[in-house]
Structure 1
Amino acid sequence: MNRMQRAEKNRQKFFGEAQSPLARTDPELIAMKERLLYGEIVGRGTLNDRQRMLVTLVALAASQTLEDMKAHTEAALRVGLSPVEIKEALYQCAPYIGFPKTESAVRLVNEVFAGKGIALPGRSQGTVTEESRFRDGLAAQKAIFGDAIDKMHASTPEGQKDIMVHYLSAFCFGDMYTRGGLDLKTRELLTFCIISALGGCEAQVRAHAQGNANVGNSKQNLIDALAQMLPYIGFPRTLNALGCVNAVMQDS
């Protein structure tokens, strides 16, 4: 099977008979995209189809290329992702891209769900209480980054502790990382993808590359996630993130 045949087979697996509106007006552009993504990238590496779609959804949300969100939500359901998994992947974006951008993506997903008769809201995935969110978040944070968190807290100036200690541990890790629907390894992989797609976040990309290693994701997992995002975020951000991975993770 050649590249063009693989591209068509894989495109249909994700999207059925649906075609890009640009296929008629800009067929060469769409052919380049589909032959790269579905003829070369998809089917290689360590990610399965469900992981690929989660990575793609958060990359679209982070880069705010929302025109494709509905089609990719349909594709995510087609390859077996549950509504809960799709929603949790997008919720994971909120600490990194902010609530307004996250909500813009979620609204489009909700339209797809409504059209398919998927009940909203879904079952709550929250696990923390107002009393436990800081404690549980700190535990999740340490599960990823270890004792470095204690050192960071100790060195944070008093006037910055709300942001660097309380909001980070209680909200980012307590409210988000402890939720059901996705396991810790998947959430940390998606976080790496989200901040890589944003660009200009190399310090955080390096930290989360190490965090991924700490929770059991391999260097190749991260490389394959970057390859999946490449057609959506372009080479500069992909290469910057790859440089961060190479800086902190040894070749396996």
Structure 2
Amino acid sequence: MTGQLKDKVALVTGASRGIGYQIAKGLAAEGAHVIALARTVGGLEELDDEIKSAGGSTTLVPLDLTDMGGIDRLGGAINERWGRLDVLVSNAGLLGVLAPIGHIEAKTFEKTMTVNVTATWRLIRSVDPLLRKAQAGRAIVISSGAAHSAKAFWSLYAASKAASEALVRSWANETQNLPLRVNSVNPGATRTAMRAQAMPGEDPKSLPTAREVAAKIVPLAFADVTETGKLFDVRAGQFLDYRDPA
């Protein structure tokens, strides 16, 4: 590792497993102090052990992203302790259910949109002032190819990720004249528990691991990233421009 994030403060949601877990480890390996947020305490403690054994440092935040008050208080707590936030990785999300639109239960729809969209907005609102204080603030919001393919039976997840990308694009346009860079990421098919839930018949060994995918996302937090308001496609290894309507 190159120490690109030495003395930086990074917040990662959904850090107790999968891609978020590996991103948190990668950021810590680059020198960042990682604020690891997730609802699963056991996974956070395991992450803490791994990062500290490698010489890194963490602060654990056990929080369910349906707790909107907790998200609102998060920014103030970070400000009180560190006075800024250098990196945000909004990774936590729910698949919901794969089903025909008319078969989706209201409670499932509402919970998925709450975690994938409303919580993302509340998180952005909570930490935006802190990222603006940073010399090279970086925000990375994990999306999905589903936001663009809108395949049959994927309506709920696709709609939530499309909404998340719209939030990120607007945020990027609002901050384009600041050092803050804001981008979405499509990690592609990855060997995670969510992928197994969505594709139970798929051979997981045919997919890249969460660690391999995270290794390509971590550099988006570096100060030399100049793109903003774009979608980084992990498989392609490059930023893609959104197509605006004529």
Normalised to the residue count of structure 2, the TM-score between the two structures is 0.35
Q: Judging by fraction of residues, say which structure has more helix.
A: 1
Larger Rg: 1
Q: Judging by fraction of residues, say which structure has more strand.
A: 2
